[in-house]
Amino acid sequence: MQTPLVITVTGNDRVGIVDDVTKIILAYQGNVDASRMARLGGVFAMVMLVSVAEEALESFKAGLETLRTQDFELTIRPTQRGASQKFKGWHNYQIDVRGADHEGIIHEITHQLAEQGVSLETADTGTEDAPFGGTKLFTMKATVFAPPNLSVEGLQEELDAVGNELNVDIEVAPIEN
């Protein structure tokens, strides 16, 4: 039987980090089912959903612990498959945000989502140079699960109000499954 784990690894960016981590996973017949990886500043961060055979679990964890000797931070957390079934029947939407960068954008948008009972599935945020004026533009792409009673139009209306206050454009679109 396979045991699903969520593993996070962070450390100073260098060539070969993913190779080192996946080599350990493979050595214990583990499999990366899903992952997100990014260099953030000078730190490389990995979040992975990994499956490993139950009988190899303790030795697998010990193998991962060797990453700490290379100055990596590590968390290993058990999870359950199918936990997202609690959102069955909910609407899946993509949210795109773009506008002048300033403090508080992520908080205000995610606060409004929480107020509407919306669950954040994924989010990628960043900044880029504006084409004119030398300012930074904030960007965010997110996927969310909205309760069955919240239409795309209703969510768009609520986020438009927040977007107007923040001076950012927010677009909500259904994701076809």
Q: Break the chain into its structural domains and give their ranges.
A: 2-81, 87-174
CA of residue 153 relative to chain centroid, distance: 25
Model confidence pTM above 0.75: yes
Residue 176 has pLDDT above 60, yes or no: yes
Whether the CB-CB separation of 21 and 68 falls below 8 Å is answered with no
Annotation: CATH topology of 87-174: Alpha-Beta Plaits (3.30.70)
Other C-beta atoms lying within 10 Å of the C-beta of residue 6: 14
Which two three-digit tokens encode residue 125?
Answer: 């945020």
Question: What was the pLDDT predicted at 79?
Answer: 92
Determine the 3-state secondary structure of 45 from DSSP: strand
At the fourth CATH level, which superfamily is domain 2-81?
Answer: ACT domain (3.30.70.260)
Predicted confidence band of residue 133 (pLDDT cuts 50, 70, 90): confident
Do the domains 2-81 and 87-174 sit in the same CATH topology, yes or no?
yes
What is the C-alpha separation between 66 and 72, in angstroms, rounded? 9
Cα 15 to the center of its chain, rounded Å: 23
**What is the mean pLDDT of the segment spanning 34-50?**
96
